[in-house]
C-alpha cells in the first residue's frame, strides 16, 4: 500500500535539527504522518524519546539514523531504518563516525578565521544541542545570526562547500561498513536524497551497484530535497536496481526547511515501499 503518509527522514536537536524529538513527533502527527522515523546524523541518542512520543500519539514508528559515508571522494548519506538501537556494532560504528567531528569543526573555524570570521567554533557549538555532533549546519546558523549571510543556503554556497574557506575534507564511514551496521541490527539501508550528490553518471552507477552488492535495499525516491523530475528519475533507478523506495521530508527546522513533515507526494504505485519490507520492525 503506497498511499501511506510515511515520513522516514528528519532531524532533531540531537543532530542538526532545531526541534526536540517530542516536538517533531507532535508536528508530524499534526501534519497527518502515520509512520514516522527520526534519522539524526550519525546518532541514535534521540531514538527512545522519539519512539515513546510517537507511541503516546498513536503514530507508528521505525528506528532511524542517517550515516555519513565517504564514497568516490564525495560524502554520501545512508539512512538506516528499523534496526535494533541496542545493537553493539551499530552503536560503536556511529560513535566512530561521530568521532572526528570536533577536530573537523576546529579546522573549519581556522579556515573561516583566515577570511576574517573569528570565534566560529565557539559560536557554532552554542547552536549544537549535542556537543558530540557539531555540524556544518551549526556553523551556518552562527553565520546567519551574526549577520555574515542572510540565510543558511548562502552560508553553504559562500563558505561551507568544497573549495570554500570553511570546508574541510573529511573521512566518514565506509559504505560497506555502514550497510553492515544497519543490517546487523535487522534494519534496512537506504540511499538518502540521491539527486544531491555531485557524481558523474559512472560514479552514480558505481554507488548504486556497490550499495546493492553490500546488501543495501532501498533508495529515497520522494524526499524534500528532490524535485518532481528527480523523483521520476530515481524511481527509474529503483526499478533498474531492484530497490525498494523510501519517502522522507529531511525536515530540520520550521525556519529553514521548505518541506514540512509529511508534506510530500506519494510514492509511485509500482514501487515497493520500505515499510512493506519492514512490517516486523514497526513499533
Query: Which residues of this chain interact with ligand AMP, rule CB under 6 A?
Result: 16, 41, 68, 135-137, 152-153, 156, 252
Contact 165, 197 (CB under 8 A): no
Cβ proximity to Mn ion, 113 vs 256, nearer residue: 256
Give DSSP secondary structure letters for 45-95: TTHHHHHHHHHHHT-EE--EEEEEEEETTEEEEEEEES--TT-HHHHHHHH
Please tell me whether residue 16 binds Mn ion under the rule CB under 5 A. Answer: yes
Contacting range for Mn ion; rule: CB under 5 A; set: 61-69, 80-88, 140-148, 273-281: 61-69
**Sheet with 64-71, edge to edge strand ranges:** 173-174, 64-71, 74-81, 188-191, 218-223, 244-248
Do residues 252 and 15 make contact, with C-beta atoms less than 8 angstroms apart?
no
Look at residue 220 and give the partner it binds from ligand AMP, Mn ion, none, a contact being a CB closer than 5 to 8 Å depending on partner kind: none
Smallest separation (angstroms) from ligand AMP to the CB of 136: 4
Q: Which residues within the stretch 238-267 sit at the binding site for Mn ion (CB under 5 A)?
A: 250
Smallest gap from residue 190 Cβ to ligand AMP (A): 15
Interface with Mn ion includes 138 (CB under 5 A)?
no
Nearest approach in angstroms of CB 133 to Mn ion is: 10
- The CB density around residue 31, as the number of other CB atoms within 10 Å, is 16
Nearer of residues 113 and 253 to Mn ion, judged by Cβ:
253
Handedness of CA 91, 50, 48, 101 (dihedral sign): positive
Q: Residue 77, interface with Mn ion (CB under 5 A)?
A: yes
Amino acid at each position: 500500500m503506497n498511499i501511506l503518509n510515511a515520513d522516514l527522514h528528519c532531524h532533531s536537536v540531537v543532530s542538526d535539527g532545531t526541534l526536540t524529538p517530542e516536538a517533531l513527533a507532535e508536528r508530524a502527527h499534526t501534519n497527518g504522518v502515520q509512520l514516522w522515523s527520526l534519522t539524526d546524523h550519525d546518532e541514535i541518542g534521540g531514538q527512545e524519546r522519539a519512539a515513546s512520543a510517537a507511541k503516546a500519539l498513536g503514530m507508528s514508528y521505525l528506528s532511524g539514523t542517517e550515516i555519513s559515508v565517504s564514497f568516490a571522494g564525495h560524502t554520501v548519506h545512508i539512512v538506516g531504518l528499523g534496526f535494533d538501537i541496542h545493537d553493539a556494532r551499530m552503536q560503536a560504528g556511529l560513535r566512530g563516525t561521530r568521532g572526528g567531528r570536533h577536530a573537523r569543526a576546529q579546522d573549519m573555524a581556522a579556515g573561516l578565521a583566515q577570511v576574517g570570521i573569528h570565534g566560529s567554533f565557539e559560536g557554532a557549538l552554542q547552536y549544537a544541542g549535542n556537543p558530540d555532533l557539531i555540524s556544518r549546519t551549526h556553523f551556518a546558523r552562527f553565520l546567519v545570526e551574526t549577520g555574515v549571510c542572510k540565510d543558511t543556503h548562502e552560508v553553504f554556497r559562500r563558505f561551507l562547500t568544497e573549495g570554500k574557506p570553511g570546508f574541510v575534507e573529511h573521512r566518514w564511514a565506509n559504505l560497506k561498513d555502514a550497510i553492515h551496521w544497519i543490517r546487523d541490527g535487522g534494519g534496512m539501508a537506504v540511499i538518502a536524497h540521491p539527486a544531491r550528490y555531485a557524481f558523474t553518471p559512472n560514479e552514480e552507477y558505481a554507488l548504486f551497484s556497490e550499495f546493492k552488492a553490500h546488501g543495501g535495499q532501498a533508495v529515497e525516491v520522494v524526499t524534500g530535497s528532490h524535485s518532481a523530475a528527480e523523483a521520476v528519475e530515481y524511481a527509474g533507478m529503483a526499478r533498474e536496481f531492484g530497490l525498494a523506495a523510501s519517502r522522507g521530508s529531511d525536515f530540520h527546522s520550521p525556519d529553514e526547511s521548505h518541506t514540512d513533515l509529511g508534506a510530500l507526494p506519494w510514492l509511485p504505485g509500482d514501487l515497493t515501499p520500505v515499510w512493506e519490507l519492514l512490517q516486523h520492525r514497526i513499533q
